[in-house]
Structure 1
Amino acid sequence: MEQPAPRGHRCVPHTADVRIEAWAPTREACVAEAVTALVDTFIDRAGAEPGTEREFRAPAATDEDLLVTVLDEVIFRMDTADELPLSTEVADDGAGGLVVCWRVTGTDAVELIGAVPKAVSLHELRFGPTGDTWSCAVTLDV
């Protein structure tokens, strides 16, 4: 049986919404993978170039709340600033929060290929360490 990559994400079947899973060696890398998974559920990245860098700070909270805060910010920025992250780097801020750096592109620079998420559901939210890997599962309301 083939071993999964040490870092990655996927979309899994869900009744009415979209469900994503992500995994990585660290909490911060897992959050970055979850951002990529969210965006990959509804855009085609082909030809899109990362542009402006944006920074977001998620204040100290539980791991699950940090994940939701970051994913909600992606949806908020898409709705209010017409921008989407094409690359994501996440670091611990040293106080229990996260510093997120995105390289973004305009929503008009990508092709929509799926239902656009409207919110992150707290139902069946999972985020935490499993052995040497962090993983999460999130349902996105579309």
Structure 2
Amino acid sequence: MSESEAGHRLIPHTADLRIEAWAPTRERCLAEAVAALVDSFLERPLPCASTAVETSLPADSDENVLVGVLEEVIFQGEVSGMVPVATEVSADRSGVRVRFQMVDLAAATPCGAVPKAVSLHRLRFRRDSHGWRCAVTIDV
């Protein structure tokens, strides 16, 4: 799998949203999952970032890291009114470090329901012979 083979898609799901993402590395797959989440409720092109937010998350399991990153996006939207237009993820000793390039939600054009929570039902995040893949259901 080459770097150009990273991506994501949204899958219709009864009363919810299902996201799939893939990439050569775990960290890039996490960033693709964030992009999919944002694409589910904001139109592209997204406005330019106005600030950055960094956070560290423990990595007790790959699935928990995925949930933590996506929950941070939802939290930032609800609390600060900001959403990421770009995401960088790097591994560190205790887990992952995430840097979100943020924009005010009011500056973006909505196109779908704002996500409310990450569901643990049918959550997947693992490495396969082509790289890393994840799938997650989002409550909207």
Q: For this structure pair, what is the TM-score category when the shorter chain's length is used for normalisation?
A: over 0.9
Paired residue secondary structure (1:34)? helix
For the structure 1 residues 98 and 16, does the alpha-carbon distance in structure 2 shift closer, same or farther, using more than 3 Å as the test? same
Q: Moved runs in structure 1, 4+ residues, more than 3 A? A: none
Unaligned runs of 5+ in 1: none
- Between the two proteins, the alignment pairs up a number of residues equal to 137
The corresponding residue for 2:90 is: 91
Q: 1:47: how far off?
A: 5.3
Matched ranges for 1:56-67 at <5 A: 56-67=55-66
Q: 1:46: how far off?
A: 2.6
Q: 1:64: how far off?
A: 0.0
The corresponding residue for 2:102 is: 104
Counterpart Cα distance in 1 of 2:46 and 2:40: 17
The corresponding residue for 1:53 is: 52
The corresponding residue for 2:136 is: 138
Counterpart Cα distance in 2 of 1:6 and 1:45: 20
The corresponding residue for 1:38 is: 37
Counterpart Cα distance in 2 of 1:37 and 1:47: 13
Q: Which amino acid aligns with 1:88?
A: T
Unaligned runs of 5+ in 2: none
Q: Which amino acid aligns with 2:99?
A: C
Counterpart Cα distance in 1 of 2:89 and 2:76: 17
Q: Which amino acid aligns with 2:105?
A: T
Cα RMSD for the two superposed structures: 1.0
Question: Identical aligned pairs, as a percentage?
Answer: 52
Q: 1:44: how far off?
A: 1.1
